[in-house]
Chain A
Amino acid sequence: DAGVIQSPRHEVTEMGQEVTLRCKPISGHNSLFWYRQTMMRGLELLIYFNNNVPIDDSGMPEDRFSAKMPNASFSTLKIQPSEPRDSAVYFCASSLLNDRGRQYFGPGTRLTVL
Chain B
Amino acid sequence: TQLLEQSPQFLSIQEGENLTVYCNSSSVFSSLQWYRQEPGEGPVLLVTVVTGGEVKKLKRLTFQFGDARKDSSLHITAAQPGDTGLYLCAGLRGATNKLIFGTGTLLAVQP
Contact = CB atoms under 8 A, between A and B. Distances in A.
Interface of A: 4, 31, 33, 42-43, 45, 48, 50, 55-56, 91, 93, 95, 97-98, 100-108
Contacts of B44: 105
Nearest to A45: B98
| Prevailing SS type, chain A contact patch | strand
B41 A50 contact: no
Interface of B: 30-31, 33, 35, 40-45, 48, 50, 88, 90-92, 96-99, 101, 103-104
B88 A103 contact: no
A105 B43 contact: yes
A95 B97 contact: yes
Given A42-B103, A43-B101, A95-B97, A103 B45 contact: yes
